Amino acid sequence: MAQYIVRRIILMIPTLVGVSLLVTALLRLLPADAVDILVAGGEVQGGQAAFKELADQRLAADGKDPAKASLTDRARAENAVIDQELKKEGIDPAQAKDSQRQAAKNTVSLNAYKDAIRQRLGLDKNYIQQWASWAGDALRGDLGKSVLGGRDVSAELKRRIPVSMELGIVAMLVSIGIAVPFGVLSAVNQDGWMDYALRGFAIAMLAIPSFFMATIIIALAARWYSYSFPVRYLDLWANPAQNLQLVLVPAVILGVGLSGSLLRLTRAQMLEVLRQDYIRTARAKGLTSRRVISSHAMRNALIPVVTVIGLQVPVLVGGSLVLEAIFGIPGVAQYLFVSIANRDFPAIIGVNMVVAVMIVVVNLLVDVSYALLDPRVKFA
């Protein structure tokens, strides 16, 4: 078992490298980039400084010291930069109107400013250089800084990961707590009223969107009980009461939504196991139905169920996005959504790598749990 775990951990390395390469490649397919959004949002100013830098380069190319250049020389250099842009646009500089010259100057200033920002942030590098730069910093524990705001991505994830983990763990416990016992009851009472009721419940949970359920709960709580959910998230250890008021409801909504498919799978697996010969043999030996189900049937029926539980981990991240937005929970999913909207490369790849690590670790735990559920499973 120990050798198997070590091999799986070693195999995680090429998996994570592949994920980082894929995410970096997909980011380059997105229209525009963070610099375009940054400049368009008016959050930074610097076009005039960028244009001055271009004029200084022109003066240096003409053999003049930019710091000592006269106003006439500087005006001539600026006009030369503007004339070059007018020619690119197919306009004769000698016949250009003042408005056209001003528009050309604005275009040159903006493009130069964007290029300066891209160079400062490393966004001007090609695909491999950009990935290698990020990977080198990531190996030292530095996931970079957010393009918008300059916040440290590692610090931001450190603050948000516990929030998403709390939401995901509670949701998964709710899902398992509903799906497994109800799935077993549905299978044991096949074609009875309880079976039909639980199957109907599972289908309803699959059909009702989480955002609709969340909206209904918020509206009914406000109308019937004059209650509004907290608008500020507080850590569980800082204020358990307010934390649970905000997290518990969306976690239950998410867990109930995930329980539908898990309940149906548990029922199907239990029905298949209950038809096996060794179950009939156990009954023939005089064992009670409860003993047969708990000691013999459930352990074998739960192996595919555990597999699906592991596959639902990435669903938790995606499914919690809407709920985090509705309830104002500052989790990882919300951070990823905002980062994608802003084309924030360091934040996007950082979140994806954290999620990738979480998925491969959970899958390893799922595989190890097979041996605990079924002693016949051996890892060579």
154-200, pLDDT tens digit by residue?
A: 888 888 888 888 888 888 899 889 988 898 888 888 888 888 999 99
**Mean predicted confidence (pLDDT) in 249-278:** 87
**Mean predicted confidence (pLDDT) in 63-84:** 79
Domain with CATH 1.10.3720.10 in the chain: 153-373
Specify the DSSP class assigned to residue 342.
T
**Mean predicted confidence (pLDDT) in 199-203:** 90
Write down the mean pLDDT value for the chain.
80
Question: Under a CB-based contact definition with an 8 Å cutoff, are residues 37 and 344 in contact?
Answer: no
Q: Which two tokens stand for residue 267?
A: 């029922």
Whether residue 37 is predicted with pLDDT greater than 80 in this model: the reply is no
* β partners of residue 121: none
Whether residue 358 is predicted with pLDDT greater than 80 in this model: the reply is yes
Question: Under a CB-based contact definition with an 8 Å cutoff, are residues 320 and 333 in contact?
Answer: yes
153-373 carries CATH number 1.10.3720.10: yes
Q: What's residue 50's pLDDT?
A: 72
Q: What's residue 197's pLDDT?
A: 92
Whether residue 261 is predicted with pLDDT greater than 80 in this model: the reply is yes
Name 226's Cβ contacts closer than 8 Å, sequence gap at least 6. Answer: none
- Residue listed under structure tokens 């991240």: 317
Whether residue 365 is predicted with pLDDT greater than 70 in this model: the reply is yes
Q: What's residue 343's pLDDT?
A: 77
Q: Which two tokens stand for residue 73?
A: 């020389």
Name 291's Cβ contacts closer than 8 Å, sequence gap at least 6. Answer: 282
Whether residue 324 is predicted with pLDDT greater than 60 in this model: the reply is yes
Could you report the per-residue pLDDT of 5-36, keeping only the tens digit for each? 788 888 888 888 888 888 888 877 776 666 66
Residues 356 and 15: their CA atoms lie apart, in Å, by 9
Residues 286 and 316: their CA atoms lie apart, in Å, by 43
Q: What's residue 244's pLDDT?
A: 84
pLDDT top residue among 97 and 219: 219
Residues 233 and 133: their CA atoms lie apart, in Å, by 35
